[in-house]
Amino acid sequence: MELNLLIQDPRLKTALNHDVPTPLYHQVYLFLKEKIQLGDIGHGEKMPTEHEISEAFAVSRITAKRAMDELAEEGYIKRQRGRGSHVTFQNRTEQVKAPLSGLLESLQTMGQATQVRSITFAKKIPPIDIAKRFNLGEGEMLYQSVRCRLADGIPFGYYVSWTRDIGEQYNEQNILSMPRLKLFRQIGLRLDKVEQSVSATLSNVDTGLQLDIPAGKPLLVLDRSMYDADGVLVDHLYALYRPDQYQFEMEFSMQ
């Protein structure tokens, strides 16, 4: 969307969330920062004025000024008296890519090139929908791992996985020290089939905090199930990704 159309979008007046701890100026800053990172506001392009921003988001001039000041301090824009503010950011960072072709190898490579932070790890009774996926009996338990993955210190993925008891090597320490696929192979687990779907959702307060984005931002959703050679579901993963930091590549053959 062109910048002049973007800033005139009437939905911006209700885009900010007044019910979360994140200050309004920082929500405006994050919104504009994302548009710059995604290229919606290109390098060298003139930014809206403080007055235009305050009108667009229905906030005060002070709020708009503080958001612009943060963008300038972070090196996204350059402010010049009499000339306005222009975008100076150029995206030189490669996005983390997980091609669906060669999925397992790509996931292991991604695991080696990024960092992971554990949020929770415990053996527990899963919710009903997960229990049905695994065809569990009443009271049967799985290992739940909730974690966040980062690239160069920036969070890009929020993961919730459920895994059968596959041995004592599957523990929090090993999950943090090596990619899970490598750990599965080390344990001796043979994965034979992977089913996955990709969709989209919006961040809520919890996932927004984990991924360092405001609530209501779009996220990619990956739902993946891994089966062993006997067709038994061993691991189910629900992952949320920031689209400004992560993308999927798909390669098809016409033969």
Q: Which domains does the chain have, with CATH numbers?
A: 3-87 (1.10.10.10), 96-247 (3.40.1410.10)
> Nearest Cα to 91, choosing from 158, 48, 154?
154
- Record the pTM: 0.59
The answer, yes or no, to whether residue 105 has pLDDT greater than 50, is no
Residues 241 and 221: their CA atoms lie apart, in Å, by 6
The pLDDT value recorded for residue 97 is 43
The pLDDT value recorded for residue 1 is 45
Q: Half-sphere exposure of 24 toward its Cβ, with a 13 Å CA cutoff?
A: 18
Residues 204 and 17: their CA atoms lie apart, in Å, by 11
Measured at the alpha carbon of residue 27, what is the angle toward residues 25 and 29, in degrees to the nearest 5?
70
Do 180 and 189 contact (CB within 8 A), yes or no? no
* Phi, psi at 48, each rounded to 5°: -65, 155
The answer, yes or no, to whether residue 61 has pLDDT greater than 80, is yes
SS3 call for 175: helix
Percent composition of the chain: helix, strand, coil (DSSP 3-state, to 5): 35, 30, 40
> What mean pLDDT is predicted for residues 217-243?
91
